Amino acid sequence: MIVYAVVSIQPLSERLPDGDMQARQQFVNQSPWDWLSVRRRIDERLCEATRDEVWVVDDVSFPTCGTASVGVARQYCGALGKRANCQVAVSVHAATDTASCPLEWELFPPEEWVHDDRRRQRAGIPGEVGHASKTRSRSGASSQPMTAWAVQHA
End-to-end CA distance of the chain: 29
- Of 51, 10, 41, 31, nearest to 148 (Cα)? 41
List all residues 6 or more positions away from 145 whose beta carbon is below 8 Å from its beta carbon.
43, 55, 92, 103, 104, 151
3-state secondary structure of 96: coil
Quick one: pLDDT at residue 1? 43
- Of 142, 137, 119, 20, nearest to 70 (Cα)? 119
User: Which segments in the chain show pLDDT lower than 50?
Assistant: 1, 4, 137-139, 141-142, 145-154
Quick one: pLDDT at residue 97? 85
Quick one: pLDDT at residue 146? 47
